[in-house]
Amino acid sequence: MARSNLRIVLLVATLFAAGDVLAESPAATPAKEMLVYDTALAPGWQNQSDATTELSIEASGSARKPIGVVAGPGQSLNLHHEPFSTAGLSKLTMLIQGSAPNGEVRIFAIVDGKAVGIGRPVKLGNTGWTEVVTPLATLGVKGKTIDGLWIQNSTGADLPKFYVTEIKIL
């Protein structure tokens, strides 16, 4: 009888230990943040833009190394990733800056290679960095599987160079 009790105790202890290991594994915990771009593209992200882009631009006196984008009408900075779930994530953040006043872009989340919804319009200024925080619900992808992001020229004319950096999905 004592041996049976000992086996049960050992079995229960083993199951609890296995549960602790599973609870701590990265696959079991929802994502808290996905880095897209800081001073370079994060692992797994690719530049598939139809706009002219330059990554990791050196800016004098700054630690930032943004993406420079020159976009004709409808062209975009297109950052692609293998499909991933946004479960546990709630917003997209980035810094953006124009080189001329009055430009406008639209931010889109991409599902199956296609833009979702009408995007979020963002006015570009040329007086410094603007932090843009966009809820994933606004982009129509909260809790959905996405495969990329677009920052698209939403004007009917060529857009002077603009810069984007510190792109994260939180």
Domain ranges of the chain: 1-30, 31-169
* pLDDT score recorded for residue 106: 98
Q: What is the mean pLDDT of residues 119-148?
A: 96
| Per-residue confidence band for 59, with pLDDT thresholds at 50, 70 and 90 | confident
Percent of the chain past pLDDT 70, that is, above it, reads 82
Q: Between residues 60 and 143, which one has the greater pLDDT?
A: 143
Q: How far, in Å, CA of 56 to CA of 27, rounded?
A: 31
Q: Between residues 31 and 142, which one has the greater pLDDT?
A: 142
Q: Hey, what CATH topology would domain 31-169 get?
A: Jelly Rolls (2.60.120)
Nearest to 122 by CA among 100, 144, 142, 98: 98
Strands 103-111 and 145-153: antiparallel
Per-residue pLDDT tens for 137-155? Answer: 999 999 999 999 999 999 9
* pLDDT score recorded for residue 13: 44
